[in-house]
Copies of this chain bind each other. A is one copy, B any other.
């Protein structure tokens, strides 16, 4: 891992936290603002925002557009967690080491806060015509909307919901996760690319990279669900198994799951080598994120 990676992560995280703190709940009614900020601030790995920033940076793109896109994708992720945790879904009480939003502020406020966070994602992208060209705004909104909706994250959650207690095969599980978590991670990389307007071969390699990382992330998540404890994870461990949800570990065992994660990392590295050959020379931080995705312990 490059020596510059850790300081870059620290600087980037600070930038994202400051931007989110400035933008989330601004001019909103007090209770709603509090719920939105509680759901978003001071927590989370911020993998999606970091992917946006690292990709844009690797391509020498528009940094202000990337910061808005980075916050937007994190808001989509945050709203999905708020709604996922609600009693009618996973009924979870712990998230990022804190009580979940509906436990802390009530179900109605949690529902509304999630809805408002989704809208805010699209608002952030479309707010600053001076620094983010309208054409870029439209492309970013298009990518994010598709990755969030019924053909992306929400669709994956619907398949997940319909699969409890069923025996999925590996292809079905992969499809479910490619939507549920993969779509938004892939979208993060592609939004970063959109901030730079790249040629098609570079776009395609970035898509390969984003897809590999998206799947690897979920495989590792499934592994951690059975190998880590709740305090390390910051959320309830073992809950997938307890809810009888299909996971890679349940389907193929721990060892083969780890081999799959490693194969996906190699796939991501292959894409990075191709990008280098295509003239993308500043992808060190993207490579660092790829390492982190498969080596993380929480």
Give the B-binding residues of A (Cβ under 8 A). Answer: 25, 27-29, 31-33, 36, 79-80, 83, 86, 88-89, 106-109, 111-112, 114-116, 118-123, 125-127, 134-135, 137-139, 141-142, 144-146, 148-152, 154-155, 157-159, 161-162
Contacts and interface: CB of A to CB of B under 8 A. Distances in A.
Given A112-B154, A115-B83, A138-B134, A145 B123 contact: yes
A27 B83 CA distance: 23
A294 to B, nearest CB: 28
Contacts of A80: 115
A142 B127 contact: yes
Contact of A154 (B116, B135, B157): B116
A119 B120 contact: no
B137 A142 contact: yes
Contact of A122 (B89, B108, B145): B145
B151 A138 contact: no
A119 B86 CA distance: 19
B139 A119 contact: no
Contacts of A137: 138, 141-142
> 8 closest A-B pairs (Cβ-Cβ)?
A119-B149, A126-B142, A28-B150, A88-B107, A32-B158, A122-B145, A123-B145, A137-B138
